[in-house]
């Protein structure tokens, strides 16, 4: 596979606030015709990228591991089927990863779940299929507190009878249960997150019980996937690709694309809800052209970053569009990144230096994965407590969310003096878990949040001049 850099073209910011500069842009797999879907930053500051690529005569899932500068260290072909589509990543508690997507065959389509170690080597893989349907597709995967996995997507004949679908597996990928929700056209789930009671919050789009066409859709389920409540949001036209995240205040944020509202035919739509899914506010972003969004992240300061792509601005057919808002969804700045061709952003992550990485696809004569790295966000870098430099140790906790205690796990490469503290979202120290010298190896320390209010907190581990932070959520 070849890899090369392309010149980035930018627009002036929408506001006078400072915004991050671009650092680099890298392409992967143009000879193989590759599509970028999902990105994670690794503990050493590099990146793990996934998607699918035409490798020889067939499409397969494709993994690319890079260093901090985006240079390829290795790549893996995964699947070996007639067509591997998607390729959505999540981290696992042992430091490895899982990938989920659609595995297409001549006779049927399966969900493909692939478990790997930190080097990308296969631990196991599973083909998951809902009995009695034509095809099953996965758009999101997350490891659950029992070390199994929850997968969200859809099944059926696209455009005829399509149902949104959840599949729960055990720790070795065997199906424990599946749940479906009836639809009439293109109903689908696009994100899933486990919440404090062991249940799930799921988002997507539905043509039932809404205002018209497809609508944003948010559901809360119990631990067995039974619906506790559901809400729809939208207008008379289609409102699609709704991805959601739980927020620090206990509510939810959804982002996607609206044909019902805004300035053009398609605009980015942001919807904030309370913990029951009731809409609190919504915002649209866009111009007279097509502007689309498939990913959102909440930031440590309570604001949001959206990974979108736009025809209204920029220099190409579509350009990556990075949108930064405050906690009320008011835009603080935005920036476009792209080439003279069509660039579609499918994922965005906050990186360890308080910058951003945008990942997706560049479409020239052939398609290539495209990763864009920005410098630090000045709004976050003004708060040193949120700096997360790469280090040689790994910090995690389980369970998360928790009530009232959680186990914090980290590994030290050598004996050294550490500081492990907990901060609230305003950067105020609320607890010291451990200070002092600890031996090399893996450590498990319990943090008790009995005296704290429900909400999000940051656990920060400092050692050898480096630091890592992890967000934890206390739900009582």
Q: Kindly indicate the confidence band of residue 118, based on its pLDDT and cuts at 50, 70 and 90.
A: confident
**pLDDT higher at 67 or 55:** 67
Please give the residue that has the higher pLDDT: either 373 or 1: 373
pLDDT at residue 324 tops 80: yes
Q: Give the pLDDT confidence score for residue 441 in this predicted structure.
A: 65
Q: What is the pLDDT of residue 84?
A: 64
Residue 313 banded pLDDT, cuts 50, 70, 90: confident
pLDDT for 105 equals: 62
Residue 270 in contact with residue 306, Cβ under 8 Å? yes
Q: How confident is the model at residue 197 (pLDDT cuts 50, 70, 90)?
A: confident
Three-state SS at 263? coil
**Is the CB of residue 201 less than 8 Å from the CB of residue 220?**
yes
Quickly state the pLDDT bin for 5 (edges 50, 70, 90).
Answer: very low
Instruction: Determine the average pLDDT of the residues in 397-406.
Output: 81
Using pLDDT thresholds of 50, 70 and 90, give the confidence band for residue 388: very low
Percentage of residues in the chain with pLDDT exceeding 90? 49
User: Which of these ranges, 90-104, 120-134, 291-305, 347-361, has the smallest mean pLDDT?
Assistant: 120-134
Q: Which string of DSSP letters, residue by residue, matches 181-211?
A: E--SS--EEEEEEE-TTS-EEEEEEESSSSS
Q: Say whether pLDDT at 334 is over 90.
A: yes
pTM: 0.78
Name the residue with higher pLDDT: 18 or 61.
61
Report d(CA 59, CA 84) in Å as an integer: 6
How far is residue 311 from each of residues 40, 245, 347, 401, measured CA to CA in Å? 26, 26, 18, 39
Top pLDDT among 129 and 337 is at: 337
**Contact (CB, 8 A) for 46 and 66:** yes
CA–CA separation, 180 and 221 (whole Å): 12
Which residues have C-beta within 8 Å of that of residue 234, sequence separation ≥ 6?
A: 210, 211, 212, 213, 214, 215, 216, 258, 260
The CATH class of the 22-379 domain is mainly beta
Asked whether residue 211 carries a pLDDT value surpassing 70, the answer given is yes
Number of CB atoms found within 10 A of residue 23's CB: 17
pLDDT at 290: 94
Mean pLDDT of 146-171: 85
Flag whether pLDDT at 13 surpasses 70. Answer: no
Neighbouring C-alpha atoms within 13 Å toward the C-beta of 391? 22
Range ranked top by mean pLDDT from 54-63, 100-109, 135-144: 135-144
Of 139-143, 242-246, 378-382, the poorest mean pLDDT is in: 378-382
Residue 300 is predicted with a pLDDT of 82
More confident residue, 134 or 389: 134
Assess contact for 267 and 288: CB atoms under 8 A.
no
Q: Does pLDDT of 15 surpass 70?
A: no
Task: Report DSSP state, residue 274.
Answer: -
Residue 401 pLDDT > 90 = no
Per-residue H/E/C for 295-333: EEEECCCCCEEEEEEECCCCCCCCEEEEEEECCCCCEEE
How far apart are the C-alpha atoms of 238 and 253, rounded to whole Å? Answer: 19
Report which of residues 407 and 360 the model is more confident about: 360
**Residue 83: pLDDT band by 50, 70, 90 thresholds?**
low
Q: Tell me how far CA of residue 340 lies from CA of 4, 167, 308, 357, 428, in angstroms.
A: 15, 40, 17, 20, 46
106-120, 223-237, 375-389: lowest mean pLDDT where? 375-389
CB 19 within 8 A of CB 13: yes
Residue 56 gets which letter from DSSP?
A: T
Summarised one tens digit per residue, pLDDT across range 443-457 is 778 888 888 888 888
Instruction: Please name every residue paired with 48 in a beta bridge, in sequence order, or none if there are none.
Output: 40, 65
Give the Cβ contact number of residue 16 at 10 Å.
7
Question: For the residues of 334-370, what is the DSSP string, one character each?
Answer: EEEE--SSEEEEEEEEE-TTS-EEEEEEEESSSEEEE
Report pLDDT for 1. Answer: 34
Supply the pLDDT for residue 470: 80
Who has greater pLDDT, 468 or 70?
Answer: 70
Mean predicted confidence (pLDDT) in 80-89: 75
Query: In 10 A of CB 377, how many CB atoms?
Result: 26
CATH superfamily of 391-474: Macroglobulin (MG2) domain (2.60.40.1930)
> Does position 385 have pLDDT exceeding 50, yes or no?
no
> Do 22-379 and 391-474 share a fold?
no
Half-sphere exposure in the Cβ direction for 37 (13 Å, CA): 25
Up-side HSE of residue 41: CA atoms within 13 Å toward CB?
Answer: 24
By residue count, the chain amounts to 476
pLDDT for 68 beyond 90 = yes
Q: Which residue ranges make up each domain of the chain?
A: 22-379, 391-474
pLDDT for position 331: 93
CA atoms within 13 A on the CB side of 317: 8
Q: Give residue 362's pLDDT.
A: 94
Question: What are 248-274's pLDDT values in tens digits?
Answer: 888 999 999 999 999 888 999 999 999
């Amino acid at each position: 596979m070849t890899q090369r850099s392309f010149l980035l073209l930018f627009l002036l910011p929408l506001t006078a606030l400072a915004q991050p500069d671009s650092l680099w842009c890298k392409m992967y797999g143009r000879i193989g015709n590759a599509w970028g879907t999902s990105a994670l930053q690794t503990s050493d500051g590099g990146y793990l990228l996934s998607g699918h690529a035409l490798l020889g005569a067939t499409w397969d899932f494709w993994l690319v591991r890079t260093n901090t500068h985006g240079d390829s260290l290795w790549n893996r072909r995964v699947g070996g089927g007639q067509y591997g589509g998607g390729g959505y990543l999540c981290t696992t508690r042992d430091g490895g990863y899982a990938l989920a997507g659609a595995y297409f065959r001549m006779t049927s389509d399966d969900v493909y779940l692939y478990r790997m170690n930190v080097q990308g080597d296969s631990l196991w893989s599973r083909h998951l299929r809902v009995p009695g349907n034509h095809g099953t597709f996965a758009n999101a995967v997350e490891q659950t507190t029992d070390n199994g996995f929850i997968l969200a997507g859809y099944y059926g004949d696209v455009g005829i009878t399509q149902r949104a679908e959840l599949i729960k597996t055990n720790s070795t990928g065997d199906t424990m249960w599946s749940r479906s929700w009836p639809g009439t056209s293109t109903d689908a789930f696009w994100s899933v997150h486990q919440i404090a009671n062991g249940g799930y919050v799921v988002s997507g789009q539905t043509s039932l019980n809404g205002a018209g066409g497809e609508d944003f859709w948010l559901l809360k389920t119990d631990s067995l996937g039974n619906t506790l409540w559901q809400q729809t949001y939208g207008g008379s036209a289609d409102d699609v690709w709704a991805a959601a995240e739980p927020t620090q205040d206990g509510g939810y944020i959804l982002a996607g694309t609206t044909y019902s509202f805004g300035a053009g035919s398609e605009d980015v739509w942001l919807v904030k809800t309370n913990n029951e899914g009731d809409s609190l506010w919504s915002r649209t972003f866009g111009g007279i052209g097509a502007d689309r969004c498939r990913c959102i992240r909440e930031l440590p300061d309570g604001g949001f970053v959206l990974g979108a792509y736009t025809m209204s601005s920029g220099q190409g057919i579509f350009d990556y569009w990075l949108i930064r808002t405050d906690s009320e969804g008011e835009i603080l700045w935005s920036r476009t990144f792209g080439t003279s061709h069509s660039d579609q952003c499918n994922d965005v992550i906050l990186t360890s230096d308080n910058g951003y990485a945008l990942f997706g696809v560049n479409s020239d004569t052939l398609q290539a994965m495209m990763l864009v790295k920005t410098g630090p966000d000045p709004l976050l870098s003004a708060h040193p407590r949120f700096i997360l430099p790469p280090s040689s140790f790994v910090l995690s906790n389980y369970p998360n969310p928790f009530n009232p205690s959680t186990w914090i796990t980290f590994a030290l490469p050598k004996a050294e003096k550490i500081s492990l503290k907990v901060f609230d979202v305003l950067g105020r120290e609320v607890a010291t878990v451990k200070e002092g010298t600890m031996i090399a190896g893996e450590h498990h320390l319990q943090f008790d949040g009995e005296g704290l209010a429900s909400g999000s907190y940051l656990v920060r581990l400092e050692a050898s001049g480096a630091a890592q932070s992890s967000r934890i959520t206390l739900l009582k």
